[in-house]
């Protein structure tokens, strides 16, 4: 339909030129008659001229309106279609990004992901909309206008269109120059954006180290380079429009001069000159746009290739669905080893143990001993390099991952809050239609020893936490994350070192609440501190990815190894603190 509308709007652009030719030829004709007529005939002739010209005038206006309607319809079809394509492509990319695994996010910068979903999609849209529209316009205009011109006067047509290819080529060259310079500006702009983003997410550090001046200086360097690049673009652009106007004007002049010669030779009428000047004006825009359109198409092709590169990336982990999950007995780690991609030293080394359903399992270890890594394997953010994790007797890799994760409440070590209200941060991942959602939020935060704190805020649960939760204290953030895990009432609760920012009193309050929550539920607690783990059914002591000791608190004390050493040391510290 868009193609039809483009054709129709062009057709109505041609008619006015013919009206002008007819009017001028009529004036000439009447002028000729006037010299040989008496006064009363002159009045009749003048009236004839006036009615005819008025009639042409009305037609020109009518054509302009009809043309306008078709141009509107042409944009409504082609440009609107391109917006739909943009929408689909953005959503498709976003959904795909979410499916990709950790390896992908390590290999690609967030800035790159953002650029492809916004800029590159935008460029593809420029192809699907404007570039296609201008191309159709170009073909239709050239066919229509040239065929009309040739039927009017072949010789004049050839002479008049001769300079147009030069115009098109000049525009193409200048446009390429403009594009290279705009790309440089675009790159500089992303560099400025990331600089500002980093400078202000790290504003606390900048201020604490009184590094404002250094930061401003670096920023000035970035903007200075941006300014220079903009100036160089402005230089070319300043050249672009005058050149276009000059070449257009030149074409008109040539038309008038050659047309004049043709009229003198008796091969054309005066009206033809006016008509041809109008045709040339109609032709100039599509011919100019040829250069512009071809560069749009080039850039869109490059962008689509970048988008496809991501769309064709498949997640390296397979996520089977539909293999129902049954967790009745235990989770077993069978001889698990894991080395992070790109590293040589294993983060986990030949670990074997099992976690019976309903028990509390604790992992204690020095920093870097592999505690968080073990949890990540359990969440299938990575698959083990060797060995198998089994749920009852089934391999975790073959089970439905969505079901598995729905069963888990996880508090990560580095808490991430979204810039939203506290309530929405706690109910994250639950549907907003969940029954009694508000009650559940309050309950969960009571269990996380957070409720009193929140009630002290003026906006209570509606308090917004700022980007990444910047307006909350470290301990408050941790407890929001704990409440987020509690509210799911999960079968399997995983707490990765999430009590570390809390004082011993709050810690023991949460641990006490945990006793209540964890009835019939499986709990995994990761910690540096013996106080968090000593009540667990089994304690795994990790050191450099290896199992050092394994057993209950009493058994480990009896063993009189490193656990008991850590225990007596930390008991001492707590006593001196009190
Ligand atoms: N994404 C990663 N890529 C590569 N190596 C990693 C990655 N995450 C952790 N490591 C390495 O794996 C080892 C174990 O890290 P892990 O985070 O499991 O330690 P942890 O026991 O949780 O320590 P902490 O108590 O400090 O949280 C460390 O040597 C660490 O440098
Ligand atoms: Mg850790």
Are the CB atoms for 450 and 483 separated by under 8 Å? Answer: yes
- Structure-token pair, residue 358: 């309903």
- Structure-token pair, residue 195: 């600089």
Q: Report the nearest atom of ligand 1 relative to the CA of 342.
A: 4
According to DSSP, the residues that pair with 351 across neighbouring strands are 336
Same-domain check for residues 246 and 344: no
Can you give the pLDDT at residue 98? 84
Q: Which residue, among 137, 105, 113, 181, has the nearest Cα to 8 in the 3D structure? A: 137
Same-domain check for residues 216 and 242: yes
Q: How many angstroms does the Cα of residue 493 sit away from the middle of ligand 1? A: 21
Of 281, 311, 341, which residue sits at a domain end?
Answer: 311
Ligand 1 touching residue 343 (CB < 6 A): yes
Q: Report the nearest atom of ligand 1 relative to the CA of 374.
A: 18
Are the CB atoms for 527 and 533 separated by under 8 Å? Answer: yes
Same-domain check for residues 44 and 141: yes
Same-domain check for residues 371 and 292: no
Q: How many angstroms does the Cα of residue 362 sit away from the middle of ligand 2? A: 13
Q: Which of 107, 349, 369, 384 to mutate to test ligand 1, by most ligand atoms within 8 A of the CB atom?
A: 369
Same-domain check for residues 248 and 391: no
Residue nearest to atom 4 of ligand 1 (CA): 340
**In tens digits, what is the pLDDT along the chain, a chain of 578 residues?**
888 888 888 888 888 888 888 888 888 888 777 777 777 777 887 888 888 888 888 888 898 899 899 989 988 888 899 999 999 999 999 998 888 887 788 777 777 788 788 888 988 998 888 888 888 888 888 888 888 888 888 888 888 888 778 777 877 788 788 888 887 887 788 778 778 877 887 888 888 888 888 889 999 999 999 999 999 888 888 877 787 788 778 888 888 888 888 889 888 888 888 888 888 888 877 777 777 788 788 878 888 888 888 888 887 766 777 667 777 788 888 888 888 877 888 888 888 888 888 888 889 888 888 888 889 888 888 888 888 888 888 887 877 777 888 888 888 888 888 888 888 888 887 766 666 777 777 777 877 778 877 777 777 877 777 777 677 777 788 888 888 888 888 888 888 887 776 777 777 777 777 777 767 788 898 888 777 787 888 888 888 888 888 888 888 778 777 877 877 887 777 666 55
- Structure-token pair, residue 194: 């990331």
Are the CB atoms for 423 and 462 separated by under 8 Å? Answer: yes
Q: How many angstroms does the Cα of residue 254 sit away from the middle of ligand 1? A: 76
Same-domain check for residues 448 and 364: no
The CATH number that applies at residue 40 is 1.20.1560.10
* Domain encompassing residue 458: 416-483
Q: Which residue, among 387, 396, 397, 393, has the nearest Cα to 334 in the 3D structure? A: 387
The CATH number that applies at residue 358 is 3.40.50.300
C-alpha to C-alpha distances, 46 to 26, 38, 49, 519, nearest whole angstrom? 11, 12, 5, 106
Q: How many angstroms does the Cα of residue 310 sit away from the middle of ligand 1? A: 28
324-339 exposure pattern, b = at least 16 Cβ within 10 A, e = fewer: ebebeebbbbbebebb
Same-domain check for residues 361 and 450: no
Same-domain check for residues 294 and 350: no
Same-domain check for residues 396 and 448: no
Can you give the pLDDT at residue 72? 92
- What is the length of the chain? 578
Q: Which residue, among 389, 364, 368, 339, has the nearest Cα to 549 in the 3D structure? A: 364
What is the sign, positive or negative, of the torsion defined by CA atoms of 263, 268, 272, 276?
Answer: negative
Helix (H) or strand (E) holding 547: strand 546-551
| Cβ-based burial of 473 (10 A; exposed 0-12, middle 13-18, buried ≥19) | exposed
Residue nearest to atom 25 of ligand 1 (CA): 367
Can you give the pLDDT at residue 469? 67
Residue nearest to atom 17 of ligand 1 (CA): 372
Q: How many angstroms does the Cα of residue 247 sit away from the middle of ligand 1? A: 66
Of 270, 285, 311, which residue sits at a domain end?
Answer: 311
Alpha-carbon gap, residue 295 to 278, rounded angstroms: 27
Ligand 1 touching residue 523 (CB < 6 A): no
C-alpha to C-alpha distances, 417 to 102, 112, 202, 414, 454, nearest whole angstrom? 19, 23, 16, 10, 15
Ligand 1 touching residue 349 (CB < 6 A): no
Q: Report the nearest atom of ligand 1 relative to the CA of 371.
A: 21
Same-domain check for residues 472 and 538: no
The DSSP output letter for 131 is I
- Structure-token pair, residue 100: 């990709």
Same-domain check for residues 144 and 293: yes
Q: Report the nearest atom of ligand 1 relative to the CA of 545.
A: 14
Q: Which of 343, 368, 371 to mutate to test ligand 1, by most ligand atoms within 8 A of the CB atom?
A: 368
Residue ranges in 359-400 assigned as alpha helix (H): 371-378
Q: Report the nearest atom of ligand 1 relative to the CA of 375.
A: 18
How many domains in the chain?
3
Same-domain check for residues 287 and 425: no
Of 277, 294, 311, which residue sits at a domain end?
Answer: 311
Q: Report the nearest atom of ligand 1 relative to the CA of 528.
A: 25
Can you give the pLDDT at residue 221? 93
Ligand 1 touching residue 369 (CB < 6 A): yes
What is the three-class DSSP state of 477? helix
Q: Which residue, among 21, 15, 2, has the nearest Cα to 128 in the 3D structure? A: 2
Alpha-carbon gap, residue 123 to 301, rounded angstroms: 9
Residue 458 CB partners (closer than 8 Å, separation 6+): none
Residue nearest to atom 3 of ligand 1 (CA): 340
Alpha-carbon gap, residue 365 to 160, rounded angstroms: 86
Ligand 1 touching residue 370 (CB < 6 A): yes
Q: How many angstroms does the Cα of residue 413 sit away from the middle of ligand 2? A: 6
């Amino acid at each position: 339909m868009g193609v039809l509308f483009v054709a129709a709007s062009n057709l109505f652009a041609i008619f006015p030129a013919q009206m002008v030719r007819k009017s001028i030829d009529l004036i000439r004709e009447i002028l000729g008659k006037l010299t040989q007529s008496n006064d009363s005939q002159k009045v009749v002739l003048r009236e004839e001229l006036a009615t005819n010209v008025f009639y042409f005038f009305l037609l020109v206006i009518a054509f302009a309106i009809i043309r306008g309607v078709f141009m509107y319809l042409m944009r409504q079809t082609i440009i609107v279609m391109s917006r739909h394509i943009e929408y689909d492509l953005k959503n498709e990319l976003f959904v795909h990004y979410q499916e990709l695994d950790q390896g992908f996010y390590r290999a690609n910068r967030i800035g790159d992901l953002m650029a492809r979903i916004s800029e590159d999609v935008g460029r593809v849209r420029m192809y699907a909309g404007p570039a296609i529209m201008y191309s159709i316009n170009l073909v239709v205009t050239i066919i229509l206008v040239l065929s009309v011109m040739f039927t009017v006067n072949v010789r004049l047509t050839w002479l008049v269109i001769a300079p147009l290819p030069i115009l098109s080529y000049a525009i193409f060259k200048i446009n390429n120059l403009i594009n290279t310079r705009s790309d440089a500006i675009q790159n500089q702009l992303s560099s400025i954006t990331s600089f500002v983003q980093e400078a202000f997410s790290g504003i606390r550090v900048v201020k604490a180290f009184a590094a404002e001046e250094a930061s401003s200086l670096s920023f000035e360097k970035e903007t200075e380079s941006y300014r220079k690049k903009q100036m160089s673009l402005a230089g070319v652009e300043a050249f672009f429009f005058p050149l276009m106007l000059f070449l257009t004007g030149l074409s008109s002049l040539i038309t008038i001069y050659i047309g004049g010669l043709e009229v003198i030779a008796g091969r054309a009428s005066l009206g033809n000159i006016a008509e041809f000047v109008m045709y040339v004006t109609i032709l100039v825009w599509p011919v100019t746009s040829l250069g512009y359109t071809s560069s749009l198409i080039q850039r869109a092709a490059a962008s689509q290739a970048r988008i496809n590169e991501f769309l064709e990336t498949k997640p390296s982990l397979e996520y089977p669905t539909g293999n129902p999950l049954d967790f009745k007995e235990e989770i077993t780690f069978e001889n698990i080893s894991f080395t992070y991609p790109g590293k040589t030293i294993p983060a986990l080394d030949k670990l074997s143990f099992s976690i019976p359903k309903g028990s509390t399992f604790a992992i204690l270890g020095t920093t870097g001993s592999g505690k968080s890594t073990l949890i990540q394997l359990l969440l299938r953010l990575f698959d083990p390099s060797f060995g198998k994790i089994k749920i009852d007797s089934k391999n975790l890799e073959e089970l439905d991952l969505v079901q598995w994760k729905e069963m888990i409440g996880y508090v990560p070590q580095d808490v991430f809050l979204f810039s939203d209200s506290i309530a929405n941060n706690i109910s994250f991942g639950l549907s907003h239609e969940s029954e009694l959602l508000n009650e559940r939020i309050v309950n969960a935060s009571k269990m996380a020893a957070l409720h009193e704190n929140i009630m002290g805020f003026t906006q209570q649960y509606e308090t917004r936490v700022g980007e990444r939760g910047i307006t909350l204290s470290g301990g408050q953030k941790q407890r929001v994350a704990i409440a987020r895990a509690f509210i799911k009432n999960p079968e399997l609760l995983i707490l990765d070192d999430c009590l570390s920012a809390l004082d011993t009193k709050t810690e023991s309050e949460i641990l006490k609440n945990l006793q209540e929550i964890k009835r019939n539920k499986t709990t995994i607690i990761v910690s540096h501190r013996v106080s968090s783990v000593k009540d667990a059914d089994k304690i795994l002591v990790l050191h450099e990815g290896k199992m050092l000791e394994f057993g209950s608190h009493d058994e480990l004390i009896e063993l009189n190894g490193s656990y008991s050493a850590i225990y007596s040391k930390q008991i001492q510290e707590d006593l001196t603190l009190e």
